[in-house]
Structure 1
Amino acid sequence: MIHTVELVNTINEKKVFQLLLEHYHASEILEVMDKLKKLGESIELKVSIPGIIICSIKPVNNDFFRIYLRVDLQALIIGSRTIDVFKCSKRSVGELRTALDEAILNISSVLSNSTKWQVSRIDFTINLTSDYVKECIELAKKGNDPYRYRDTINKPGSSYRKSKSVTLNFYDKLDQISKKIIMNPSEKFLLEEATNIFRIEVQCLSSAKLRSIRKKFNLPNKSNLFDYLRADIALWAIMSYYEKVIGKGDYYSLSQALKRIEATDWAMQRKNRIKNFLKFIAQTKSMSIAKMQFHEGKRLAGTETVVKGSRNTFRAYVKACEEIGINPVTVPKDWGIYYIPNPIRSLDLSEVHN
C-alpha cells in the first residue's frame, strides 16, 4: 500500500561535521562544508543500503542542516529491489521499524532513530493486475482529470496527472522496469514480477497534503512515519483518486455498451440520452474534454443530434453508467476488443487488511 517515503531530520553543525567524517576523508570535509554553507548546495551521500534511494544533506542556515532520506520501504525490509509494495500490517510495521533504525545507524551514529524523523513525502501505491495493462493505460489517459490536475509529460506507458501537492501516476510496471533493466541486467528477475502489473501511485508531495491527511484521520500534528502506516489511510488515498480518474465501471466497446443500455428497464428517453452521451465521450476521446464541451453543446458526427447539459447532468449520466457497470470511456473499435474488466477488480480487500 506504500512504496516510497521521504523522511527529514534536522541536525546542528557539530553533528553534520561528525556525519561527514563517517563518509569523507578528513581533508575533504572543509570543501564539503563550503558547498553546504557558502554555496547553499545540497549534497548526496554515497549510501549502499538496499531500499535507501537517496540520502542527502541541505543547509537550513549556518547553524542547522536537514538530512533527507528517500526510502523504498519494502526493498529496505527484504534487502533487495522488488515489485511488491509495503503492506500496512502490524508485522510489516514492526519489520520496517527494525530495518529503518538499522539503516539510519549505518548511515551515521549521530542521527536520531526513525521515530524522530518527519515525513515530507509519501507514495500510496498498489499493484493491480490485468491481461490488458497497455490498453488500460491508454483508457486511463482518456479518463477524468480531477480539478487542477494536468498531464505535464504525456509519456507512453503512463497515465500521469499532477497538481501542486499530489502526483497521480498510473502506469505499466513491466514497461517501466524493462527500460531500467537495460542499465542493470542483474535485476532481470523483476521482469517476471512486473508482468501484468497496473501500478497505481498517489504521491503526496507537499506539507499541505500531509496536513490534510493528518486532519482527516486525526493524526498528531507532529506525526512520524509510523502514524501514517495504516491500511485505511492508504486505501482512502488510492481509491478516492482512482475513482475520480478511472471510475468503477468495466470497459466495453461502444457497440457492447449500447447493447447493455438497451437491455436495461430504463425509459426509452433515458436510454437514448445515455447512448448519445457514450457516443459523445467516444467522439471527444477524453472525459475532461467532453466535460468542457458538454456544457456548450456538441453535435454528434454524422447526425443532427446535439449533446448538451449542465455539470450536474454530466455527473448524473456518469453515475447512470456506473449503475450498470459501464465505464463512460469505451474501447476503441480498431482494437478489436469488446470487453476489458476494470483493473480494480483484482484488488483483494481481505489481503489489504491482513
Structure 2
Amino acid sequence: MIDTFEITLTVAYSIVELLSRELEKEIKFRSSNFCKLPNPLGQPGVRAINITRQKNSDKYSIAIEINPTELLEEAASIELFHCSQENVEALKQALNEALKYVHPYFSLTDRKWRLSRVDYAMQFHTPYVELYTTLESKGPILYRYEGLQKPGSTYKKCKSSRINAYNKGNQLSKTNSSASLKEKATDLYRFEYQCLNPKYLYEKYSIDYSELFGLFRKDIALAVLKAQHKRHVKAGDYYTYYEAAKRINEMKGKQQRTKEQILEVLRFIEAADSLPNALLAIRNDADTVPGRFRGAKSECSYEILKDKFNEFLREHLCKEGINPVLLPDEFAIALLPNTSFKLFTA
C-alpha cells in the first residue's frame, strides 16, 4: 500500500554540520539552497537525505526518503509496504535504529519529526501494462494538474500531489538494479499517488499531526487510492470502436438519435487522440467538434460546453461501463478491463 515516504526535521545549522561529520559527506548548498545525499547509509531502505535552507530563516530542513519494505527486508524490493499494525511497529523500530546509527540526536522518540510526504500505491502484473499506461495517458487532466508525457507512464502533477500510473519494469530497466529484481518487475503495472502535503489527510481523517505514522493505515491508503483513481482515470472498460458500437446499439432505454450522438462523440475523441485534445478542440470551436458542443466563443461559454461534454461522457458512456478512450484496432483484443477492477476488486 505504501511505496515510499519522507520524514522531515527542522534544525539549526549546527545539526547539519553534525550530520555531515557523522556521514562523512560534504554538504554544499548551491543557488537552490538545496543539497541531496543519495543512498547516505550505503544500504537499502534509506533512499536519500535532502537538506534545504529555509527561506528568510536561519533554520534548515532535513528530509529523509524511506522505502519501508526495503528497510525491513534489508534488500532492494518491488514489493509494497502493507499497513498492518505489526508491520508499522516493526517499521518504527527499524527506522529508529537506522536514525540512531547516524547519530543518537536523530532518534524518532527524542525529536519532532513530521511526515512530509507519503506515496500510496497498488500494483498487479499484466501483459498489457504498456497498453494500460498509453490508454490512461489519454484520460482527463484535472484542474490545476499538469499532464506530462513520459514513455510507459501516465504522469500528472500539481503543487501538492502527483499521480503516476506506470510500467515498473520499464522504470527499473533504466537503473542498475539487479537482473532478478528487473525480472520480478516485468509486466508490473503500478498506480501511485504521491501526497506532497499530508496535512490535509491528517485533517480529513481527524488524526493528530504529531502522529508520525498516523496515515499508515490500510483503510486510509485504500480510500485515497480509490478516490484518486476515480478522479484521474475515467470509469468503464476499454473497447475497440466496433465493440463499443455494438454495446451502444444494444443499450435499452436510449433513443436511436442518442445512440448516434454517443457514437459521434466516440469518433470525435478517437480522432482527437485524447480527452484533453478533445477539450482543446471544443475550446477552439474546431470543425471536428460535434454540433451539440460547438459555440465556444469565450472562456465562459467553453466552461459551459466542457461541463456539458463531461456530463455526456458520464451519463452515456462511463455509467454504461464504456471508457471514452478506445482501444486501438491493431491490438488483437476487443476488450480490456479498467485497472480499477484489477486494483480494487480482483
TM-score, structure 2 as length reference: 0.85
> 164-173 or 121-130: which moved more?
121-130
Q: SS of the residue aligned with 2:94? A: helix
**1:258 positional shift:** 0.7
**1:255 positional shift:** 0.9
The residue number in structure 2 matching 1:144 is 140
Q: Displaced runs of 4+ in structure 1, greater than 6 A?
A: none
The residue number in structure 2 matching 1:287 is 275
Asked if 1:173 is matched to 2:159, the reply is no
Q: SS of the residue aligned with 1:329? A: coil
What are the residue-to-residue correspondences of 1:177-192 with 2, within 5 Å?
177-180=172-175, 183-184=176-177, 187-192=178-183
Q: How many residues are paired up? A: 331
The residue number in structure 1 matching 2:300 is none
Asked if 1:218 is matched to 2:206, the reply is yes
**1:106 positional shift:** 1.3
State the alpha-carbon separation in 1 of the partners of residues 249 and 325 from structure 2.
18
1:81-132 deviation digits (Å, cap 9, x = unpaired): 1111111221221121111111111121111316731122211111133321
> 40-49 or 249-258: which moved more?
40-49
State the alpha-carbon separation in 2 of the partners of residues 64 and 294 from structure 1.
49
State the alpha-carbon separation in 1 of the partners of residues 130 and 228 from structure 2.
20
The residue number in structure 1 matching 2:101 is 106
Distance 1:228 1:81, change over 3 A: same
Return the match for 2:35 from 22, 26, 42. 42
The residue number in structure 1 matching 2:79 is 84
**1:307 positional shift:** 4.9
Higher helix share: 1
**1:235 positional shift:** 2.1
Return the match for 1:251 from 214, 238, 250. 238
**1:141 positional shift:** 1.2
Distance 1:282 1:20, change over 3 A: closer
Asked if 1:198 is matched to 2:185, the reply is no
Partners of 1:295 and 1:308 within 8 A in 2: no
The residue number in structure 2 matching 1:306 is 291
Q: Partner letter of residue 231 of structure 1? A: K
State the alpha-carbon separation in 2 of the partners of residues 16 and 296 from structure 1.
53
**1:17 positional shift:** 4.5
Unaligned 5+ runs, structure 2 = 295-304
**1:214 positional shift:** 2.1
> 120-129 or 110-119: which moved more?
110-119
**1:324 positional shift:** 2.0
State the alpha-carbon separation in 1 of the partners of residues 37 and 136 from structure 2.
36
Return the match for 2:63 from 39, 63, 68. 68
Q: SS of the residue aligned with 2:192? A: strand
Partners of 2:207 and 2:214 within 8 A in 1: yes
Q: Partner letter of residue 317 of structure 1? A: F
State the alpha-carbon separation in 1 of the partners of residues 58 and 274 from structure 2.
52
State the alpha-carbon separation in 1 of the partners of residues 332 and 292 from structure 2.
27
Distance 1:295 1:103, change over 3 A: same
Asked if 1:55 is matched to 2:22, the reply is no
What are the residue-to-residue correspondences of 1:237-248 with 2, within 5 Å?
237-248=224-235
Percent identity between the two aligned chains? 30
**1:192 positional shift:** 2.9
**1:306 positional shift:** 3.2
Return the match for 2:217 from 211, 230, 239. 230
Distance 1:330 1:121, change over 3 A: same
Partners of 1:299 and 1:307 within 8 A in 2: no
State the alpha-carbon separation in 2 of the partners of residues 300 and 10 from structure 1.
55
State the alpha-carbon separation in 1 of the partners of residues 205 and 92 from structure 2.
22
Q: Partner letter of residue 84 of structure 1? A: E
**1:219 positional shift:** 2.0
**1:273 positional shift:** 1.8
Q: SS of the residue aligned with 1:161? A: strand
Partners of 1:150 and 1:162 within 8 A in 2: yes
Asked if 1:323 is matched to 2:319, the reply is yes
Q: SS of the residue aligned with 1:42? A: strand
Query: RMSD of the TM alignment (CA)?
Result: 2.9
The residue number in structure 1 matching 2:301 is none
